[in-house]
Structure 1
Amino acid sequence: MNKQKIESSQAPQAIGPYSQAIRSGGIVYLSGQIPLDPATMMLVEGDMTVQTRRVFANLQAVCEAAGGGLEGIVKLTIYLTDLAHFPLVNDVMKQYFTEPYPARVTVQVSALPKAAQIEMDAVMVLA
């Protein structure tokens, strides 16, 4: 199997034994991103809109390091500690994606790393 590690200094560095993303052929598997500022490795301050935008910015940076962009994402998983944020996340997502939207699942979880309220991982296909 041919797999390539993808890294971006514009996204938070991995905080465990994993890669920001792995490319295998034309498919890129992006690890989960929480709303960490890559410069400080601290959670961004602000409401859920600010946090969601930071997650998308982190995903975008990793997509770009792999030679793509958010438009190449075909599968997105969103983890929320409170599903009450679901409508807000949907509104922010519409600012980053157009039809056809990626396939997606949203899951409520009891906790996320660093006490984040949101995390997303994705699968991207390179053209």
Structure 2
Amino acid sequence: MKPVETTKAPAAVGPYSQAVLSNGQIYCSGMLPINPENGEITATTVEEQTKQVMENIIGLLKEVDLSLDDVVKTTIFLDSIESFQQVNEVYGHYFSNHKPARSCVEVAAIPKGALVEIEFIAQLN
């Protein structure tokens, strides 16, 4: 097991790794819509926050020479299921050809007051 860390995605906000490489797979911790350049959530709408999360995921994947095409499973956490359609629309732009397995759930709260958080599992080539 090997931690994966990059400055292309926000630093962990607690005692955990951004992601872990194990047995040919990358297991990513929940990715928040934090701008990695300033460590803050600057996006205010769920669409903007989803875009930031997806860009953070791409940054982490690039660190291990992978892309969204290597993602096999995602889990989306929403602070309100009412935003499902807006998140789904942005998410769909990133996964237009390759569609990984996915779960999407509403939770009581997301760290740092975020509206969306996404975790993933990717397969090494």
- Are the equivalent residues in 1 in contact too, given 2:71–2:121 (CA < 8 A)? yes
CA distance in 2, matches of 1:35, 1:52: 7
Deviations along 1:1-54, one digit per CA (max 9) or x if unpaired, are xx1111110110011111011111320001111110111111123321111000
More strand by share: 1
- Are the equivalent residues in 2 in contact too, given 1:23–1:66 (CA < 8 A)? no
- Are the equivalent residues in 1 in contact too, given 2:73–2:120 (CA < 8 A)? yes
RMSD between aligned residues:
1.1
- Are the equivalent residues in 2 in contact too, given 1:20–1:31 (CA < 8 A)? yes
Structure 2 unaligned regions, length at least 5: none
Q: Which of 102, 105, 117 is 2:103 aligned to?
A: 105
Percent identity between matched residues is: 35
CA distance in 2, matches of 1:111, 1:66: 30
- Give aligned pairs, total: 125
Structure 1 unaligned regions, length at least 5: none
Q: Which of 9, 16, 19 is 1:18 aligned to?
A: 16
Tell me the TM-score normalized by structure 1: 0.93
Counterpart residue type for residue 103 of structure 1: A
- Quote the residue 2:45 is aligned against: 47
- Are the equivalent residues in 1 in contact too, given 2:69–2:98 (CA < 8 A)? no
Tell me the TM-score normalized by structure 2: 0.95
Summarize the alignment of residues 39-118 of structure 1 with structure 2, pairs less than 5 Å apart.
Answer: 39-118=37-116
Counterpart residue type for residue 43 of structure 1: I
Which runs of 4 or more aligned residues in structure 1 lie more than 4 Å from their structure 2 counterparts after TM superposition? none
